[in-house]
């Protein structure tokens, strides 16, 4: 198990870093153990989060590929460019001009492998605690962290429901999570509890521009999509939970250039989830994915 963050549920973390929790755990652990050392010359938390230094590409690439599929990025480690399924830097470019993170303690719920945490540090955040119950993504973070050695960006194998009740953050991100929640308003209420008075929330979701959409069965081949809210619904939930200054920051259709299969994510991606005769629709006949970002503030006195 990697270094633990004091005050966070240790036992749960230890249970998850275990072969009884995931059958591939030992293989992933072996991949981390096989990562070659690099004399790091420079780290960069820009669009491509990268570490410069000289190392033989073949063993490095082989070890990193054991951690397939790489979904969020891109990263570059020495000579190896990890071309992830998502151009997460494009999402960040849409968000970043609206954010102020200097000296902030940030919680990133459903952080994946922690890509956005590096970007938040680039903006001056003091510390980012990412949580994600998908163990593979936590282990991808460890691979990157092995080279970065910057312990201001954490990725813990925890669910939002497991964050200690007393934790409060200057800024709370929930991106790509709410449509997977059976009770989305309860999720927004959790966001309120986790935000310190005067702090901010950033909430990102696939949205339905024609009013709330409750898919029957799958949406864009994804199971467990319970509700695609309208942007207005996201803002109403924030207000109802007690947030003020609720604002829509961005609405963008997801393109097959932003989310696609690559050498680092061999499975099918957005292209195969769209109707081949009409890419405005998913294969199930719903509107193709559009994502929105909203932000709000917890009142200083609340
Ligand atoms: C669609 S991905 C979004 C990743 C990233 N935030 C982004 O915007 O690109 C949703 C993530 O939420 C994580 N997740 C699922 N259930 C969760 C829970 N109960 N608490 C925190 N994260 C969860 C999944 O493992 C997955 O990595």
Question: Could you tell me if residue 78 is inside a domain?
Answer: no
At 6 the pLDDT is 80
Q: Model confidence over 98-119: pLDDT tens digits? A: 999 999 999 999 999 999 999 9
Question: Could you tell me if residue 189 is inside a domain?
Answer: yes
Which pTM value belongs to this model? 0.98
Question: Could you tell me if residue 27 is inside a domain?
Answer: no
Question: Could you tell me if residue 20 is inside a domain?
Answer: no
Q: Model confidence over 244-281: pLDDT tens digits? A: 999 999 999 999 999 999 999 999 999 999 999 999 99
Q: Number of folded domains in the chain?
A: 1
For ligand 1, atom 2, name the residue with the nearest CA.
176
Q: Model confidence over 128-163: pLDDT tens digits? A: 999 999 999 999 999 999 999 999 999 999 999 999
From 112, 160, 161, the mutation candidate for ligand 1 (largest count of ligand atoms within 8 A of CB) is: 112
Q: Which residues face 175 on adjacent strands?
A: 204
Angstrom distance (rounded) from CA 288 to CA 99: 27
Question: Could you tell me if residue 48 is inside a domain?
Answer: no
> What distance in angstroms lies between residue 110's CA and the mean position of ligand 1's atoms?
3
At 111 the pLDDT is 98
Question: Could you tell me if residue 183 is inside a domain?
Answer: yes
What is the CATH classification number for the domain harbouring 133?
3.40.50.150
CB 54 within 8 A of CB 40: no
Q: Model confidence over 40-98: pLDDT tens digits? A: 999 999 999 999 999 999 999 999 999 999 999 999 999 999 999 999 999 999 999 99
Question: Could you tell me if residue 251 is inside a domain?
Answer: yes
Question: Could you tell me if residue 214 is inside a domain?
Answer: yes
Instruction: Please report the atom of ligand 1 found closest to the CA of residue 159.
Output: 20
Range of the domain at 292: 86-297
> What distance in angstroms lies between residue 114's CA and the mean position of ligand 1's atoms?
11
């Amino acid at each position: 198990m990697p270094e633990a963050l004091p005050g966070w549920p240790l036992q749960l973390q230890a249970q998850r870093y275990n072969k009884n929790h995931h059958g591939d755990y030992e293989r992933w652990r072996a991949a981390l153990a096989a990562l070659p050392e690099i004399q790091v010359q420079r780290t960069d938390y820009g669009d491509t989060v990268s570490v410069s230094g000289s190392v033989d590409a073949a063993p490095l690439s082989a070890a990193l590929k054991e951690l397939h599929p790489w979904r969020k990025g891109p990263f570059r480690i020495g000579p190896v460019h990890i071309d992830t399924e998502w151009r997460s830097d494009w999402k960040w470019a849409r968000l970043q001009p609206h954010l102020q993170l200097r000296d902030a303690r940030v919680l990133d719920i459903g952080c994946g492998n922690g890509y956005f945490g590096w970007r938040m540090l680039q903006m001056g955040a003091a510390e980012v605690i990412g949580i994600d119950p998908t163990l593979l993504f936590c282990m991808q973070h460890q691979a990157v962290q092995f080279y970065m050695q910057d312990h201001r960006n954490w990725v813990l194998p925890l669910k939002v429901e497991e964050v200690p009740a007393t934790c409060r953050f200057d800024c709370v991100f929930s991106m790509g999570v709410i449509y997977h929640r059976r009770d989305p308003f309860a999720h927004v209420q959790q966001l309120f509890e986790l935000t310190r008075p005067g702090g901010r929330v950033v909430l990102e979701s696939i949205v339905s521009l024609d009013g709330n959409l409750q898919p029957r069965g799958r949406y864009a081949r994804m199971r467990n999509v319970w509700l695609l809210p309208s942007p207005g619904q996201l803002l109403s939930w924030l207000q109802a939970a007690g947030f003020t200054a609720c604002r829509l920051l961005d609405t963008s259709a997801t393109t097959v250039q932003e989310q696609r299969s690559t050498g680092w994510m061999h499975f099918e991606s957005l292209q195969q989830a769209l109707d081949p005769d009409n890419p405005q629709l998913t294969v199930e006949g719903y509107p193709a994915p559009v994502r929105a970002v909203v932000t709000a503030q917890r009142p200083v006195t609340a």
